[in-house]
């Protein structure tokens, strides 16, 4: 069995922070020198394209990873939302978290409505509902889908198609894979969920209070 191993130990790197280190190990029985080089390049690419935004601490909910979502664009349009609907407030629990334990991204009601209305306007297709989703359309309209970009302090994340849409099990309908926040304790909370994090490398750099995201194709 062949293997390729890389260690990149770094003490002061801008990319990984003090004391951090990165290692990549691939174990397969068919790794060639070229395969190793390609793997190394893909990992370097992830590190080079990593963008970060500060992690915010909420002492009342210390297990949640809060970030500062400052706006949302649909296509080229910055969706109009009142900044206080996105603002971090440790007392009320308001703000935005990145959560891998939630499946579907939820925005507080007026923010979701604004995103959805702009999305519907740009896709220009007959809209129907399906389960939790209120913006579904025939799969044939999918190519007209506008990109959704989340703007965080210091980092913009344009969601790939597979992180924006969900297909019905029958396959003929596609839905915007987002919804309004539920009417409970989390009504004031925006949640960036795991469907929106597919094929992204998400780095929780807690010692340095930041969250990093890079595109990564893991198929």
Ligand X SMILES: *[C@@H]1O[C@H](CO)[C@@H](O)[C@H](O)[C@H]1NC(C)=O
Judged by beta carbon, residue 73 or residue 174, the one nearer ligand X is 73
Instruction: Measure the CA angle with vertex 195, ends 189 and 200; round to 5°.
Output: 105
Q: Is 188 in the site for ligand X (CB under 6 A)?
A: no
Total residues contacting ligand X (rule CB under 6 A)? 5
Find the helix or strand (DSSP H, E) in which 215 lies.
strand 210-215
Order of all β-strands in the sheet with 66-67 = 66-67, 95-98, 189-192, 105-107, 178-180
Binding mask 45-64 for ligand X (x = CB under 6 A): -----------x--------
State which of residues 51, 88, 201, 214 lies at the interface with ligand X (CB under 6 A).
Answer: 88
Could you give the CA distance from residue 49 to residue 203 in angstroms, rounded to a whole number? 12
Q: How far apart are CB 87 and ligand X at their closest, in Å?
A: 7
Binding mask 3-42 for ligand X (x = CB under 6 A): ----------------------------------------
Judged by beta carbon, residue 95 or residue 137, the one nearer ligand X is 95
Burial group, residue 59, by CB count within 10 angstroms (0-12, 13-18, 19+): exposed
Q: Is 70 in the site for ligand X (CB under 6 A)?
A: yes
State which of residues 153, 172, 198, 199 lies at the interface with ligand X (CB under 6 A).
Answer: 153
Could you give the CA distance from residue 32 to residue 4 in angstroms, rounded to a whole number? 8
Q: Is 150 in the site for ligand X (CB under 6 A)?
A: no
Q: Is 190 in the site for ligand X (CB under 6 A)?
A: no
Q: How far apart are CB 92 and ligand X at their closest, in Å?
A: 13
Structure-token pair, residue 137 = 């359309």
Neighbour count for residue 213 (Cβ, 10 Å): 23
Contact 55, 211 (CB under 8 A): yes
Judged by beta carbon, residue 68 or residue 135, the one nearer ligand X is 68
Could you give the CA distance from residue 43 to residue 100 in angstroms, rounded to a whole number? 22
Judged by beta carbon, residue 6 or residue 88, the one nearer ligand X is 88
Q: How far apart are CB 205 and ligand X at their closest, in Å?
A: 16
Q: What residue ranges bind ligand X (CB under 6 A)?
A: 56, 68, 70, 88, 153
């Amino acid at each position: 069995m062949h293997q390729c191993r890389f260690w990149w130990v770094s003490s002061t790197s801008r990319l990984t922070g003090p004391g951090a280190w990165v290692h990549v190990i691939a174990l397969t029985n068919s790794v060639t020198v070229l395969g190793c080089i390609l793997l190394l390049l893909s990992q370097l690419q992830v590190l080079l394209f990593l963008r970060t935004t500060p992690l915010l601490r909420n002492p009342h909910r210390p297990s949640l990873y809060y970030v500062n979502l400052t706006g949302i664009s649909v296509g080229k349009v910055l969706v109009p939302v009142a900044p206080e609907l996105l603002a971090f407030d440790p007392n009320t629990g308001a703000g935005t978290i990145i959560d891998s334990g939630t499946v579907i991204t939820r925005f507080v009601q007026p923010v979701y409505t604004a995103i959805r209305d702009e999305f519907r306007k740009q896709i220009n297709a007959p809209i129907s509902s399906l389960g939790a989703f209120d913006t579904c359309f025939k799969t044939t309209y999918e190519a007209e889908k506008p990109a959704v970009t989340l703007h965080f302090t210091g980092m913009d994340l344009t969601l790939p198609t597979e992180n924006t849409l969900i297909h019905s099990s029958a396959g003929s309908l596609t839905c915007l894979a987002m919804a309004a926040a539920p009417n409970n304790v989390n009504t004031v909370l925006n949640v960036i969920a795991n469907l929106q994090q597919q094929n992204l490398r998400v780095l929780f750099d807690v010692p340095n209070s930041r969250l990093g995201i890079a595109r990564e194709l893991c198929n």
